[in-house]
Amino acid sequence: MNRNWQMKSRPNGLPTHDNFELAEASPVTLGEGQFLVKNLWLSVDPYMRGRMNDAKSYAEPYALGEAMTGGAVGVVEQSNNADYPVGAKVLHMGGWREACVFGGGLTPPAGMPPVKLPELGVPDQHWLSILGMPGGTAWFGLLKVAEAKEGETVFVSAAAGAVGSTIVQVAKAKGMKVIGSAGGKEKCDWVRELGADAVIDYKAGPVLPQLTDALKSIGENGIDVYFDNVGGEHLDAAFATAREWARFAICGMIDVYNDFKAQPMQYLPRIIACRISIKGFLYPDFMGQLPEFNADMAALIQSGKVVGRETVHDGIESAVDAFLGLFDGSNMGKMLVKL
């Protein structure tokens, strides 16, 4: 059996189970140069919500009635391709399904060819978290986009998520002060365990007063870098507390993914007075610098300065539940599906 998740209808607001259907794919016979990958781990990510709309964006919308795509790690189970022998571990975009066929002239899912995983002595699922797109997004956004430097003060929203938790750890490893925002005591406690100098609980009250108090508690009067995963109130609070020449790396705005509500920005004019630089970015922008990221992140992991944490759902049947959990904050670290 090779099942895959498909979109049955376009969501209006927060997706529901009625928008998805688990379908069974037809059996395949491998052609010349082709190989079959049995998936071990599937990734669900906030950006996928945008692909569920029939609208132009940086990624193609999911087609109704066709297998969805997403990050996955699998093992080659059958092969007519000497470059991908049976037993090889592969990172690819043929997620949301139990198995996927590559090679032999087939267009890979999402247009991204599969990559054989090097032996770095890390768990397979790390290639979907701290060594994969979330980890790379954090590393590139902090060090290349925001150009954060030792001694600076960094504010990161969604600090208990896959990207945010990596930001906290990388920033501390590079000698920065970090203020993280998370929702609820359990998540805030974990962000402190990761090394954050101060943590605010956005569910406990307005962000700006808490951020101002957090800055005072660590002996600082403003932030040098803001890493945005949320938008909305967090972004406005960052404008309010920014120092001159602050840099904002805009990675995500999960606060508006489902309803596209207006974003009131009381402190937006501070962009001018503080000469704030704001830059949006995507992980694929830095494909040419992946070797630098892989080497540095592997060293940080091996030294114990960066650790991965996952929230795992079991079985392909749970993929939609895992995805929806991203929007109610049920994940700590990376949300994954184990097959």
Cα dihedral 79/81/83/88 (nearest 10):
-10
Residue type, position 69, single letter: T
Q: What is the pLDDT of residue 98?
A: 97
User: What's the Cα-to-Cα distance from 77 to each of 1, 73, 101, 222, 259, rounded to whole Å?
Assistant: 14, 13, 10, 53, 42
| 116-125, 239-248, 283-292: least confidently modelled range | 116-125
Average pLDDT over residues 195-201: 98
**Of residues 262 and 9, more confidently modeled:** 9
Residues 6+ apart with CB under 8 A from 22: 3, 4, 5, 6, 316, 317
Whole-prediction pTM: 0.86
Average pLDDT over residues 120-143: 92
Round to whole Å and give the CA distance between 283 and 276.
Answer: 22
Q: What is the pLDDT of residue 216?
A: 98
- % of the chain beyond a pLDDT of 70: 100
What is the tens place of the pLDDT at every residue in 269-279?
999 999 999 99
What is the widest separation between alpha-carbon atoms in the chain?
Answer: 65
What is the tens place of the pLDDT at every residue in 287-308?
899 889 988 998 999 899 999 8
What is the tens place of the pLDDT at every residue in 13-67?
999 999 999 999 888 889 999 999 999 999 999 889 989 998 877 778 999 999 9
Sign of the Cα torsion 245, 277, 230, 154 reads negative
Average pLDDT over residues 242-251: 97
Residue 1 has pLDDT above 70, yes or no: no
**Of residues 214 and 283, more confidently modeled:** 214
Are residues 64 and 78 in contact, defined by beta-carbon separation less than 8 angstroms?
A: no
Q: What is the pLDDT of residue 16?
A: 96
Residue 159 has pLDDT above 70, yes or no: yes
Residue 111 has pLDDT above 70, yes or no: yes
- % of the chain beyond a pLDDT of 90: 80
Average pLDDT over residues 159-182: 96
Q: What is the pLDDT of residue 88?
A: 96
Residue 87 has pLDDT above 80, yes or no: yes
User: What's the Cα-to-Cα distance from 14 to each of 11, 17, 318, rounded to whole Å?
Assistant: 7, 10, 17
In this prediction, residue 198 has a pLDDT band, given cuts at 50, 70 and 90, of very high
